[in-house]
Amino acid sequence: MQRTDIFERLKKGEIILPSDPQAYRMLEASYRTKKLVVQMNSATDPKEIRELLGQITESEIDESVNVFTPLHINYGKHTKIGKNVFINFDCTFLDLGGITIEDGVLIAPKVSLLSEGHPIEPDQRQSLVPNPIHIKRNAWIGANATILQGVTIGENSVVAAGSVVSHDVPDNVVVGGIPAKIIKEI
């Protein structure tokens, strides 16, 4: 019996063991993506950057999206980007678990969106644990913030600079700190 494709299993949140017979495909895909990422990060024309990002994500990137490169992505095909999104310099997206960025989102410099992690137990640590990140409409992710796997950022919410977000953020709040906590309502 043939197992389901590893990328489909990642999208469904299946933990991938290092002994998985398809595990090598993640590394191969990352190197293919890296080639496009290098081209994108060398481009200066916004249209060319969007076109290359579209190839990386295998989706159409709307002309209202602006990306200030460099942008680092390990896979790309599990990232979905809405309209009127702004992604500033030097962000990192690990998207094997899935990343959804809705319309109107602002992402400041050095933001990390990490939809992948590893188990705490040392004997299982080489396994990959995917869990999607969802950033809802009009959210603003401050500089050098880190959003961990499985987190949803609510509509209109703000993540303060330097925060580490490990739990869902409701709509219309400002969160900050390590770990991020609600600072105030908007």
Does the annotation mark 118 as catalytic? Answer: yes
Q: Which of 78, 118, 134, 167 is catalytic?
A: 118
For residue 33, the number of C-alpha atoms closer than 13 Å in the C-beta half-sphere is 24
Residue labelled with tokens 């942008």: 71
**Residues acting as catalytic residues:** 118
